[in-house]
Amino acid sequence: MTVHADTHALAAIWRALGSVVDPEIPIVSIVELGIVRAVARECDGWVVTVTPTYSGCPATRVIEADIRAATGAAIGEDVRIVTALAPAWTTDWIAPEARRKLQEAGIAPPHATGNDAARVQPVTLHRRRAAVRCPRCGSLRTTELARFGSTACKAQYRCIDCLEPFDYFKPH
């Protein structure tokens, strides 16, 4: 394959990956979420490197099947999918455009984490957290209902002003 053809295929693969959405949050693509870490041509063909969001995320297999289907249709050959655990996925990799889409879908986007996975933090009872803005009315007067929500990546919140419950994408 020529360098020129490779460049075309590479662009086609990235376009195809941009059309693959997270099955649990089907408004954002896996590229925008930071799940796709690399696309490269190796001696045995194209390799797409992905990283799981949460260790037990049940969407992982669906996402892999969707990647195969989308990239296969785009370049006419199968890609190999490699899972990389390190560095661990962080919500800091979520693209600004995806944050806007989450907000519009009623999911408060995550705050920055500082991305220091290996740091051992003391667990204290009186945790200070940045206020989470209600995605519907914009109020900062919101409260956590539960640390865990409908998917591994979300917590349940409620707005004290507009009274609507909403999901908060946990900083991770």
Partner 1 sequence: MAANPAARGAQLFEYLLHLADNGVVLAQRLGEWVGKGPVLEEDIASTNVALDLLGQARLWLAYAGEIEPRDGAPARSEDALAYFRDSGEFRNLLLVEQPNGNYADTIARQFLFDQWHVLLLGQLALSTDDRIAGIAAKAVKEVRYHVERSSDWVVRLGDGTDESHARMQAAIDALWMYTGEMFTVDATERALIDAGVAVDNESLFSPWQSSVRAVLDAATIVVPADSFMQGSRSRGGKQGIHTEHLSHLLAEMQVLPRSLPDARW
Q: Which residues bind partner 1 (CB under 8 A)?
A: 52, 54-58, 85-90, 117-125, 127, 145-150, 152, 156, 170, 172
Structure tokens at 7: 């460049």
Q: For residues 10 and 62, which CB has a smaller minimum distance to partner 1 in the complex? A: 62
DSSP per-residue string spanning 34-64: T-EEEEEEETTEEEEEE--SSTT-TTHHHHH
10-20 in b/e form (b: 16+ CB < 10 A) is eeebeebbeeb
3-state secondary structure of 28: strand
Nearest approach, Cβ of 128 to partner 1 (angstroms)? 13
Nearest approach, Cβ of 82 to partner 1 (angstroms)? 13
| Separation of alpha carbons 48 and 79, rounded Å | 7
Nearest approach, Cβ of 119 to partner 1 (angstroms)? 8
Nearest approach, Cβ of 49 to partner 1 (angstroms)? 14
Structure tokens at 62: 């669906």
Q: For residues 11 and 38, which CB has a smaller minimum distance to partner 1 in the complex? A: 38
Q: For residues 23 and 52, which CB has a smaller minimum distance to partner 1 in the complex? A: 52
Q: For residues 99 and 170, which CB has a smaller minimum distance to partner 1 in the complex? A: 170
